[in-house]
């Protein structure tokens, strides 16, 4: 294999060369975590007998929203008699009212542009739905640089299962050993590793550096600009 279009890095055991980079969206490329957290907290306060702290809510923000609902409702009395879909609709209403206030991290677009200039294939794997994530990626100036976007319902199972990463690599035409996955959550690292990808954790979203270190990612970066410096 030639070196054209490769970005390289050194993992824990051996030198790696990558043809593709797969990013998480929320908390990695887009600074949506504060609004997502707030939306869930407001819905919990409205529908359940006791609130949930910001720190606890952030820890629960992984996987499908139905699974998040099941976790946050555990041990809380339903005081409105709502069905799960009604709770999720109210949560989404708040997010939709304020999503215009969300922005990409300052290093997101320029990092993707740098990698694109190096010939890397780029993808996003997100647990968010297309109807609102696509607009956020477009607003951020990111959508046009992506070769593939895998949304919540693109594959039967989402993170922490490997399915969306396997799907993204197939669409990109790359092998796992040629792919670096970048994310801010434990589920990002777990799913990507199961798919055979190298992993880079950025602790600025759902999980702390200590939490992410326990997953033993190949790389731990403070922000996306570290990708540009390393590659």
| Tens digits of residue pLDDT in 54-93 | 989 988 887 788 999 999 999 999 999 999 999 999 999 9
- Distances from the Cα of 86 to the Cαs of 71, 97, 219, 231, in angstroms? 16, 17, 40, 46
Q: Report pLDDT digits (tens) over 146-189.
A: 999 999 999 999 999 999 999 999 999 999 999 999 999 999 99
- Other beta carbons within 10 Å of 2: 5
Q: Residue 61: what pLDDT?
A: 85
pLDDT band per the 50, 70, 90 thresholds, residue 229: confident
Q: Residue 102's closest CA among 140, 128, 72?
A: 140
Question: How do the domains of the chain map onto residue ranges?
Answer: 7-32+103-230, 33-101
Q: How much is the mean pLDDT over the chain?
A: 89
Q: Which long-range contacts (CB under 8 A, 24 or more apart) does 159-162 make?
A: 159/62, 159/63, 159/125, 159/127, 159/185, 159/187, 159/188, 159/190, 159/191, 160/62, 160/63, 160/186, 160/187, 160/190, 160/191, 160/194, 161/191, 161/194, 162/191, 162/192, 162/194, 162/195, 162/196
Measured between its terminal Cα atoms, the distance across the chain in Å is 18
β pairing state of 15-18 and 7-10: antiparallel
For the segment 100-106, the average pLDDT, to the nearest whole number, is 87
pTM for the structure as a whole: 0.85
Q: What CATH class is the domain 7-32+103-230?
A: alpha beta
Nearest to 179 by CA among 19, 34, 4, 16: 19
Q: What is the pLDDT of residue 12?
A: 47
Predicted confidence band at 16 (pLDDT cuts at 50, 70, 90)?
Answer: low
Q: Is the peptide bond before 160 cis (omega within 30 degrees of 0)?
A: yes
């Amino acid at each position: 294999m030639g070196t054209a279009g490769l970005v390289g890095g050194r993992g824990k055991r051996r030198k790696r060369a990558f043809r593709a980079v797969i990013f998480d969206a929320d908390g990695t490329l887009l600074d949506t975590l504060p609004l997502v957290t707030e939306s869930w907290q407001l819905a919990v306060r409205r529908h359940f007998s006791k609130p949930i702290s910001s720190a606890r809510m952030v820890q629960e923000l992984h996987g499908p929203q139905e699974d998040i609902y099941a976790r946050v409702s555990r041990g809380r009395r339903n005081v409105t008699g709502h069905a799960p879909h009604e709770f999720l609709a109210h949560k989404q209403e708040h997010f939709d009212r304020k999503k215009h206030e969300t922005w990409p991290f300052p290093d997101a677009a320029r990092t993707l542009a740098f990698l694109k200039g190096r010939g890397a294939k780029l993808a996003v794997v997100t647990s968010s739905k297309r109807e609102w994530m696509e607009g956020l990626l477009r607003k951020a100036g990111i959508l046009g640089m992506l070769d593939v976007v895998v949304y919540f319902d693109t594959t039967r199972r989402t993170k922490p299962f490997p399915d969306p990463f396997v799907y993204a690599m197939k669409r990109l035409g790359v092998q796992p050993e040629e792919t670096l996955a970048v994310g801010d959550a434990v589920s990002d690292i777990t799913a990507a590793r199961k798919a055979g990808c190298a992993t880079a954790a950025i602790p600025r979203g759902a999980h702390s550096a200590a939490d992410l270190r326990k997953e033993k990612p190949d790389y731990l970066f403070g922000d996306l600009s570290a990708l540009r410096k390393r590659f």
